[in-house]
Structure 1
Amino acid sequence: MTTYYDDRSVRVTSTALRVDDRSWPLAELTMVWHRRGSRSWRVLAGRGAIGAALAGPLVAALLGIALAVWLHRSLTVTIAIVGASVLVGLAVGPLADVLFEHLDRSYVRGSREWEMWATWQGRPVRLLSTGDALRFGQIYRAVQRAMERAPAAAPAQNSIGSSGSRPSPRSRP
C-alpha cells in the first residue's frame, strides 16, 4: 500500500481515501471532481486590515513631517517632530516582516471554500470541504495520482473531473 497524502484528518492511499472518520475505497469511486465556492469576505477583510496595519505607521510619519513643516516652529522643534516621525516610520520594519508573512499565508490558503466530490455507489457524495487552497490542491492531486495508479476495475471507473460546478470526466489512460 502506498500513501500519497497524510495529515491529521485526511489520508490518501493506493486503496482508500479517509477524511476524518469516513473512508471510501478508491475502487468504489467512479468519478471525482471539485467545486470552488464564492469568495470569503472575512478573508478579504483580514487582508485589508493587514494592509492598513502596514500603511498606518508610514502615514503617521508622513503626517508628522507635514505637521512639522506646517507649524513653522523653531528649527529644534521641527527637527524633533521630523525625527519622531521618521522613527515611527522605521518602527514598521520589524512589524512589516510579520505582517507580510501573514499576508503571504492568507494568499496561499486562498479566499474560497473548496469541495471535492465523487460518485460513490451511484450517487454524488462530498468527500472534503476546506478553505485552505494549498492543502486542497495537495489532497486533490494525491487522489488523482492514487486513482491513476489503481488497477482499472472497469473502463468507465476511476475518472477525474476538471474544475467547475459539475463533473466533467476524463478517461483513464
Structure 2
Amino acid sequence: MRTVVDKGVYVEAVFTYYSDRTVKVTSQSLKIDGQIFLLSDLGDVWHSESEPESSGSRRKGREIWAIWRGEERMLLRVTDKTRFGQIYRAIQRTLEQHPR
C-alpha cells in the first residue's frame, strides 16, 4: 500500500500489528528485544512449545521460530500464553497482508 505525501512523492505506509515494551510487529519488520528482523529476510515462520527451563517451573515456554537469512533461528520465547497468541497472530496477519 502506498500513500501520497505530496505531488508525485510516495512513501510506503507502515502498519503496526502488535506492540509492547519488547516486541513490535509491523508491515515491514519484527523488532524483538531491540533486534530488527526485516520481513524480506524471513522465510517460513512457525511455533513450538518447550519444556520448563527448570524442574521447579511449571509453565511451558512457547517459541516463535523462523528461517532468517537462510538459517533456522528462534526469534522469541515467552511463557504467557495470551501474549504469545497475540504476537504470533500479529506475525501471521502481517505476512498474509504484506507478502515477501
TM-score (norm 1): 0.47
Q: What amino acid maps onto 1:138 in structure 2?
A: Q
Q: Which has the higher helix share?
A: 1
Aligned residues: 86
Q: 2:37 aligns with which of 24, 27, 35?
A: 24
Q: 1:8 aligns with which of 21, 32, 36?
A: 21
Distance 1:26 1:32 in 2: 11
Give the greater-gyration-radius structure (CA).
Answer: 1
**Which structure ranks higher in relative contact order (CA pairs < 8 Å, sequence separation ≥ 6)?**
1
Identical residues among aligned pairs (%): 43
How many Å apart are 1:21 and its aligned residue? 1.3
Question: Who is 1:130 aligned against?
Answer: 78
Question: Who is 1:117 aligned against?
Answer: 65
TM-score (norm 2): 0.79
- Show structure 1 runs of 5+ residues with no match: 45-110, 153-173
Question: How much is the aligned-residue C-alpha RMSD, in angstroms?
Answer: 1.5
User: Aligned with 2:51: secondary structure?
Assistant: strand
- Show structure 2 runs of 5+ residues with no match: 1-13
